Structure 1
Amino acid sequence: MSSIGRFRRACYVILRTAWVLVCAAVLVVAGIAWSAVSTISTGVERSHAIAADAPRSASGRNILVMGLTTRLDLHGEPLPADVLRRLQAGESDRGGYNANTLILVHIPASGPAVAMSVPRDNLVPLSSGGEGKVKEAYGRAKVAEEDRLRAAGMADKRQLERAGREAGRRAQVQTVSAFLDQPVDHLVELSLIGFYHIAEGLGGVDVCLKNATEDPLSGADFPAGPQHLDAGQALSFVRQRHGLPGGDLARTRRQQAFLSAVARRLTDPAAVAAMIDMAQRDVVLDAGLDLAELARNLPSEVRFDTLPVEGGAHIGGQDVNRVDPAKVRAKVTELATAPPPPPPNGGVPCVD
């Protein structure tokens, strides 16, 4: 296989694994444009939320991918009005800092990797104390840290935003790690605008729906069957949960379908350039993630699955997922040792 062919295949694997976290790193594998890898390594925001002496996975490597609901940029500034309009996601003060997308990617020493989606409404113990939805760990810790720093005299908005986000990342990593009983070696963070920029940079994505669906809250209005979505439609596609069988769990499968759709577009240098541009604007990686080293040890295949829930409940005015931690942890162990089979014929099936 040519170096370009290896490069494209590696990009496909990586994008299915965790959006764009290391797509540029496979340039190393392909022997192409080391300067582009260097640009990514130095140009992407870095986090120190995972301490250098934190516990590490003994059976490979675990990467936690977090997709935030915030309508703000990396510095806490509102997005331009025209961008908010295209997002169809409300005003800049909506969304908060919930981690609505949580995927633990396990990369073993050998064999296929597995990307395990953690349903966002799972009721779990939070690292800050008490119970809450797993998605809330980030936002609660961010607010608490900013309040503490303001009381101590810090007034600079950007400093508060950065410190608050670092506290949020630490809390989200610790909460997911404790819930799954798995160390988290690395993290990748992407906000709502990142989803949009991915689809925009690629000129849209191709998906397939089992049934026609409409949801004014997300802006979704799609016929059944295969179709091409522009950037705004793609964001509506991954945000929709109302009117779907399975609700939020169906949305989780849509997120997986979106990642696969993006991966299939990475067949030309222009698409890769779009991914690099998006990474520099919208992605945060932990400081310990060595892109070149990771690229050299990537598996040739990544498969998706969703961790189990026991059923729904209504607690404190909120709908939550009841979970059995023992069953969830057993499933994580099972998937880490025996990933699910690949999609039929190597394709991506239609989703709800």
Structure 2
Amino acid sequence: MQPRGGYHRTTVLLLLRTAWSAACAVVLVVSGVAWSTVSTISTGVERSYAIPDDAPRSESGRNILIMGLTTRLDLHGDPLPDDVLRRMQAGESDRGGYNANTLILLRIPDSGPAIAMSVPRDNLVPLSSGGEGKIKEAYGRAKIVEEDRLRAAGTHDRRALERAGREAGRRAQVRTVSAFLDQPVDHLVEISLIGFFHIAEGLGGVDVCLRRPAKDPLSGADFPAGPQHLDAGQALSFVRQRHGLPNGDLDRTRRQQAFLSAVAKRLEGADVTAVQAMVDMAKQDVVLDARFDLVEFARNIPAEVRFDTLPIEGGAHLGGLDVNKVDQEEVRAKVAELASAPPPPPPNDGVPCVD
């Protein structure tokens, strides 16, 4: 039998490779197995019923949709404390809305490495609610429609509206991504900006490397070139910045993956107290679907997870909005290719430098 501390550390490191911030939240919750019972974990995490029991399922392996929301509110729709907003450097609590700015389809096969496929947030796609829009907008649009419907029917309790609206948003985001990629979604993970912040804060910051200096007042980014240590607020600015980067959102995706690598490196030297702090924090911020078996996930996830970003054709300007034009068949072909033959692993030479 593996020592208790060893099982815990191994579980954390394996799961940290699954995807960046949202997957980190899953990792932290699962890592609580080392100290607590399954029932404690289950009761400590928000659950969603957005994926119905009769939804299509993968015939082999599993697909997990990871959603990172832009909202500056907590799980109940309440504003974050002023001191937390100040340290996050992400603006006031009414900013951000409910766009799913981070969308990653994590494909876990029955054998071999897993593949985390980043879906560019500005892809113009058919939305499950009808019409076209940016893929990130499916959540927020459905949330508004559901809340308006409930108000018209006589529901005015703010928390009840928030809960029902978010469930409608999750359903719409799952259906939109599933239809666009022609892939079933077996599980979902949702986390908002405060969750990203809590992960870095629980570890005492992370180490990153930049190829050139970066400064962006919109995200709060102000970093010199080279390797450096970022506190939690700086780490959030690091993964949020897109203005001033050569490839905009695509470079931000690479930063998100670099952040994950930094968290994994940081965990290698973290003591039990620090990791436990992250576990406790993650329980406040993460939402999992009701059928997500955390213990089974921890025991069976592949030791190796690779990353890629799904293709776009180029930017377009429609109705005052910048969107990505996409060839749906090309994207679906890329998904099938990555699922069957993930890219080779990057060289293991420490924290990667990014733009």
TM-score range, shorter chain: over 0.9
Q: Is the 8 A contact 1:265 1:271 kept in 2?
A: no
**Quick one: distance in 1 between partners of 2:41 and 2:263?**
19
Q: How does 1:288-299 map to 2 (within 5 A)?
A: 288-299=291-302
- Which blocks of at least 5 consecutive residues in structure 1 are unaligned? none
Superposition deviation, residue 53 in structure 1: 1.1
Superposition deviation, residue 26 in structure 1: 5.0
Deviates more, 1:327-336 or 1:227-236: 327-336
Q: How does 1:128-167 map to 2 (within 5 A)?
A: 128-167=129-168
Match of 2:353 in 1: 350
Q: Which amino acid aligns with 1:313?
A: A
- Paired residue total: 348
Q: Is the 8 A contact 2:25 2:195 kept in 1?
A: no
Mapped pair 1:269 → 2:269: no
Superposition deviation, residue 6 in structure 1: 4.5
Q: Is the 8 A contact 1:98 1:135 kept in 2?
A: yes
Mapped pair 1:33 → 2:4: no
**Quick one: distance in 1 between partners of 2:322 and 2:70?**
18
Deviates more, 1:95-104 or 1:13-22: 13-22
Superposition deviation, residue 20 in structure 1: 2.1
Q: Which amino acid aligns with 1:323?
A: V
Q: Percent identity?
A: 78
Q: Secondary structure at the match of 2:295?
A: helix
Deviates more, 1:342-351 or 1:195-204: 342-351
Match of 2:221 in 1: 220
Q: Secondary structure at the match of 2:62?
A: strand
C-alpha change, 1:76 and 1:26, in structure 2 (3 Å) is: closer
C-alpha change, 1:293 and 1:90, in structure 2 (3 Å) is: same
**Quick one: distance in 2 between partners of 1:163 and 1:346?**
46
Q: Is the 8 A contact 1:14 1:20 kept in 2?
A: no
Match of 1:67 in 2: 68
Superposition deviation, residue 343 in structure 1: 1.6
**Quick one: distance in 1 between partners of 2:152 and 2:76?**
21
**Quick one: distance in 1 between partners of 2:187 and 2:135?**
18
**Quick one: distance in 1 between partners of 2:181 and 2:228?**
36
Q: Secondary structure at the match of 2:275?
A: helix
Mapped pair 1:306 → 2:309: yes
Match of 2:24 in 1: 19
Superposition deviation, residue 304 in structure 1: 1.0
Superposition deviation, residue 2 in structure 1: 4.7
Q: Is the 8 A contact 1:48 1:166 kept in 2?
A: yes
**Quick one: distance in 2 between partners of 1:118 and 1:8?**
30
C-alpha change, 1:27 and 1:195, in structure 2 (3 Å) is: closer
Q: Which deviations, in whole Å up to 9, do the C-alpha atoms of 1:38-97 show, x marking residues without a partner?
A: 322210100000001111111300000100000101000111111111111111111000
Superposition deviation, residue 24 in structure 1: 4.0
**Quick one: distance in 2 between partners of 1:26 and 1:90?**
32
**Quick one: distance in 2 between partners of 1:165 and 1:156?**
14
C-alpha change, 1:106 and 1:347, in structure 2 (3 Å) is: farther
Q: Which amino acid aligns with 2:113?
A: P
**Quick one: distance in 2 between partners of 1:316 and 1:274?**
45
Query: RMSD of the alignment, in Å?
Result: 1.5
Q: How does 1:1-352 map to 2 (within 5 A)?
A: 2-3=2-3, 4-17=5-18, 18-26=23-31, 32-35=34-37, 37-267=38-268, 268-345=271-348, 347-352=350-355
Q: Is the 8 A contact 2:29 2:283 kept in 1?
A: no
**Quick one: distance in 2 between partners of 1:209 and 1:338?**
30
- Which blocks of at least 5 consecutive residues in structure 2 are unaligned? none
Q: Which amino acid aligns with 1:212?
A: P
**Quick one: distance in 2 between partners of 1:21 and 1:255?**
16
Deviates more, 1:272-281 or 1:286-295: 272-281
**Quick one: distance in 2 between partners of 1:286 and 1:136?**
20
Q: Is the 8 A contact 1:187 1:286 kept in 2?
A: yes
**Quick one: distance in 1 between partners of 2:274 and 2:25?**
11
